[in-house]
């Protein structure tokens, strides 16, 4: 039982452990950066462009002229007995509409936003309680009858403050945990070493479906991340570059969806029966799948252990939610109104970041995390000793005659 007994140990994979340690440091740094952003970043919208009178002296003065020009023009909207529609009356010079106002970028606009958000007493007295208001409209547009939906402001908080930040924490946190596990624990070894004799585990259709779905998922993830996190990740490259990248991403996101959906359906048909929960799963979970010890004393499992079942159900249930909400968003107003589509978008984004975090773990354990695991989905044939350690009951089912190799 002790780790010092003979056989391959996880900590012997020195190269992997060094790489894991480096990755863990990088992810820890990114995670810390994300936590700092979470608390320090001010998401208040500030003006970035100033309207100025062109050709005049730069700075505040030309800004005042622009403001006075617009104010003079505003005065014309007062009651007619004051402003008059009369052609004889003299038009104030600034209000003639012959000004030349220009715009220039400005740096610190936060004072404007602060000043704007405080109403005067008179203004406060004439305001309405914010409320959803919808009436009728004679204009030919599907959303024309809507006057006001304060929920938009809540949607913004849900999207850019909660889901985006929590998603980044989930994804980076998972990446950090996995690389830390690789650094400290090493790979999950095949305790007895490879036997050289192999057992057939996944057929061609199973592997083909898996990789089609996997590639679609990766495509959807990368394009989705480009859309959701583009402002942080890519805008430093230039806004035009981000615009182009984002444009391709919105198109690509839709293109990857059909193969993803097809893969989900085929996987559900092939594997649901073998992924129904059983009593063995409780035992497996109680022992943590034997993941953290090199003892080789893995809990018994049939073709799929409890961990794999959880991955399967995340893919099927999570994937179906993604497809349902995604298709809804592809056809605006087809069966949901704006309120419904807003919720669909929030659910789509929240489930997406969770699925990315879950499947990071799946990708890790199927590749560097466990020695020999990749063979199952690559060649379809796994080593007998690997099968004996991880899926002992399955091995007996498919290969009843042969005794366990010593």
Partner 1 sequence: MARAKFLCDAERCIECNACATACKNEHEVPWGIVRRRVVTINDGEPDEKSIATSCMHCTDAPCVSVCPVSTLYQTDIGVVLHDKDTCIGCGYCFYACPFGAPQFPKATMFGSRGKMDKCTYCAGGPEEDHSEAEYRKYGANRIAEGKLPICAEVCSTRALLAGDGEMIGEIYRERVIHRGYGSGAWGWNTAYYPEEDGA
The answer to the question of residue 45 lying near partner 1 (CB under 8 A) is yes
CA distances from 367 to 1, 339, 360, 378 (A): 26, 42, 11, 10
Cβ–Cβ contacts within 10 Å for residue 28, how many? 16
With respect to partner 1, which residue has the nearer C-beta, 310 or 353? 353
Q: Does residue number 177 form part of the binding site for partner 1 (CB under 8 A)?
A: no
Footprint of partner 1 on 121-140 (CB under 8 A)? 122-130, 133-140
Q: CA 308 from chain center: how many Å? A: 22
244-273 residues near partner 1, rule: CB under 8 A: 246-247, 249-251, 254
User: Which residues, numbered 83-112, are part of the site for partner 1 (CB under 8 A)?
Assistant: 94-103, 106, 109, 112
Q: Compare residues 235 and 316 and give the one whose CB is closer to partner 1.
A: 235
Among 3, 58, 143, 397, binds partner 1 (CB under 8 A): 143
Which of 33, 147, 211, 292 is in the footprint of partner 1 by CB under 8 A? 147
Q: What does the alpha-carbon distance between residue 312 and residue 335 come to, in Å, rounded to a whole number?
A: 30
Which residues, 192 to 221, sit near partner 1 by CB under 8 A? none
- On the CB side of 340, CA atoms within 13 Å amount to 13
Structure tokens at 135: 């009436």
Token pair of 275 as six digits: 């992924």
Residue 47 beta carbon to partner 1: minimum distance, rounded to whole angstroms:
4
Residues from 369 through 388 that contact partner 1 (CB under 8 A): none
Residues 287-326 that bind partner 1 (CB under 8 A): none
Identify the CA nearest to 75 among candidates 52, 96, 58, 54.
Answer: 96
Q: What are phi and psi of 199, to 5 degrees?
A: -120, 140
**Alpha helices by DSSP H, 76-120:** 80-83, 110-116
Single out the residue of 162, 237, 330, 398 in contact with partner 1 (rule: CB under 8 A): 330
Question: Of 71 and 393, which has the nearer Cβ to partner 1?
Answer: 71
Classify residue 168 by burial, with Cβ atoms within 10 Å: 0-12, 13-18, 19+: buried
- Applying CB under 8 A, does 57 fall inside the site for partner 1? no
Contact status: 347 vs partner 1 (CB under 8 A):
no
């Amino acid at each position: 039982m002790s780790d010092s007994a003979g056989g391959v140990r996880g900590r012997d994979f020195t190269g992997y452990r060094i790489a894991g340690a480096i990755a863990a440091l990088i992810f820890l740094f990114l995670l810390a950066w994300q936590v700092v952003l979470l608390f320090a970043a001010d998401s208040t919208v500030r003006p970035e462009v100033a309207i100025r009178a062109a050709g005049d002296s730069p700075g505040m003065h030309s800004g005042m002229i622009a403001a006075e020009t617009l104010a003079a023009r505003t005065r014309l909207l007062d009651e007619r007995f004051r402003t008059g529609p009369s052609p004889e009356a003299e038009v104030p010079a600034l209000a003639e509409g012959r000004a030349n106002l220009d715009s220039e970028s400005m740096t610190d606009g936060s004072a404007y936003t602060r000043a704007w958000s405080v109403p005067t007493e008179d203004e406060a007295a004439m305001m309405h309680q914010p409320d959803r208001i919808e009436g009728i409209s004679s204009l030919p547009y599907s959303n024309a009858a809507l006057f006001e939906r304060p929920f938009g402001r809540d949607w913004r908080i849900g999207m850019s403050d909660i889901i985006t930040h929590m998603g980044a924490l989930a994804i980076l946190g998972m990446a950090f945990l996995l690389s830390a596990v690789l650094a400290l624990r090493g790979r999950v070894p095949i305790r007895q070493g490879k036997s050289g004799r192999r057992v057939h585990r996944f057929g061609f259709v199973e592997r083909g479906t898996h990789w089609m779905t996997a590639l679609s998922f990766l495509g959807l993830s990368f394009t989705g991340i480009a859309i959701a996190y583009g402002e942080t990740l890519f805008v430093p490259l230039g806004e035009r570059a981000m615009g182009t990248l984002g444009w391709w991403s919105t198109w690509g996101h839709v293109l990857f969806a059909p193969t993803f959906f097809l893969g989900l359906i085929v996987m559900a048909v092939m594997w649901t029966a073998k992924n129904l929960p059983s009593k063995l799963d409780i035992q497996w979970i109680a022992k943590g799948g034997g993941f953290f010890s090199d003892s080789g004393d893995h809990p018994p499992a049939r073709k799929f252990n409890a961990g794999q079942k959880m991955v399967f159900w995340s893919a099927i249930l999570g994937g179906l939610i993604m497809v349902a909400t995604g298709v809804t968003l592809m056809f605006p107003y087809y069966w949901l109104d704006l309120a419904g589509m807003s919720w669909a978008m929030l659910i789509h984004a929240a489930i997406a970041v969770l699925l990315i975090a879950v499947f990071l773990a799946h990708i890790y354990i199927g590749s560097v995390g466990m020695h020999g695991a990749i063979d199952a989905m690559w060649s379809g044939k796994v080593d007998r000793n690997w099968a004996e350690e991880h899926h002992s009951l399955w091995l007996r089912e498919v290969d009843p005659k042969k005794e366990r190799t010593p």
